[in-house]
Amino acid sequence: MSVMKRLQMIFSAKASKALDRAEDPRETLDYSYQRQLEMLQKVRRGVADVATSRKRLELQMQQMQQQSEKLEGQGRQALAAGREDLAREALTRRSGVQQQHSDLSAQHAALQGEEEKLTLASQRLQAKVDAFRTRKETIKATYTAAEAQTKIGEAFSGISEEMGDVGLAVQRAEDKTQAMQARAGAIDELLASGALDDVSGTAKDDITAELESMSSQGGVELELARLKGEIGAGKAPEAIEGATPPGTQSTSSEAQRLEGERP
């Protein structure tokens, strides 16, 4: 059978089942109205939850942007100091950060879409709940229990369908938000671990540490390499190793090239 007809039957079966349960159909009206108000609360909480996740993503994106700019600056600084290896490391990390940033950007767009949909859903439900309340009062004032049956059925099935729809939308949004929160938590950990550098400025990342140690120690490592070269008589200066301090991933050939170029 047709998909859209089957789905419609599932929704309407739910409404008739709820109606059948009530002894006096007019009781259903008040009970249903309470459920509607609860659902309104739920969808509003859903909107707030999605907004919270969206804001958290925005904060992380901002941190990553700062980190990307910082790494670019470090790359420039390292290159000016003749440390192409360090510059390459900074730019490699920057490209990783940018990748993360563009992933987050896609997630952000998805959350924003979810937030808009849920906001509209809550407006639609509000309009229907208001209409239902008016209809409910009219029915209770005008009809006897027996007469009310049909009228109640008419008012009830439309709102019941809306409630099911909104309930599903809230569930979908919750699922997405939960997945997003797990991911955001992982990114926070990544940011805190220094793998993307600590942007709070309280801890120094290794590139900063190395750049600073280069200037403060007057290039001790480079001096050391020069001395090693002098001691290792007979060795060609290009073969010098050890110019690269531990912790960086420079290729030794880059270091040799830079050493060779040094006057």
Cβ 41 to another protein, closest distance in Å?
A: 13
Q: What's the 3-state SS for 39-101?
A: HHHHHHHHHHHHHHHHHHHHHHHHHHHHHHHHHHHHHHHHHHCCCHHHHHHHHHHHHHHHHHH
For residue 257, CA distances in Å to 39, 108, 138, 231, 248 come to: 69, 44, 89, 20, 16
Q: What is the amino acid identity at position 42?
A: K
Give backbone dihedrals phi and psi of 250, rounded to 5 degrees, phi first: -65, 150
Cβ 2 to another protein, closest distance in Å?
A: 5
Residue from 62, 92, 123, 249 touching another protein (CB under 8 A): that is: 123
Residue from 7, 59, 179, 220 touching another protein (CB under 8 A): that is: 7
Structure tokens at 15: 């409404």
Nearer to another protein, 162 or 259 (CB): 162
Residue 101 touches another protein, criterion: CB under 8 A: no
Residue 199 touches another protein, criterion: CB under 8 A: no
Question: What x-and-dash track marks residues 39-68 binding another protein by CB under 8 A?
Answer: x-----------------------------
Spatial CA neighbour of 165 closest among 117, 113, 112, 108: 117
Q: Footprint of another protein on residues 156-195 (CB under 8 A)?
A: 157-172
Cβ 133 to another protein, closest distance in Å?
A: 11
Cβ 33 to another protein, closest distance in Å?
A: 13
For residue 134, CA distances in Å to 148, 149, 182, 255, 260 come to: 15, 17, 43, 81, 88
Binding site residues, another protein, CB under 8 A: 1-8, 10-15, 35, 39, 117, 120-121, 123-124, 126-128, 130-132, 135, 154-155, 157-172
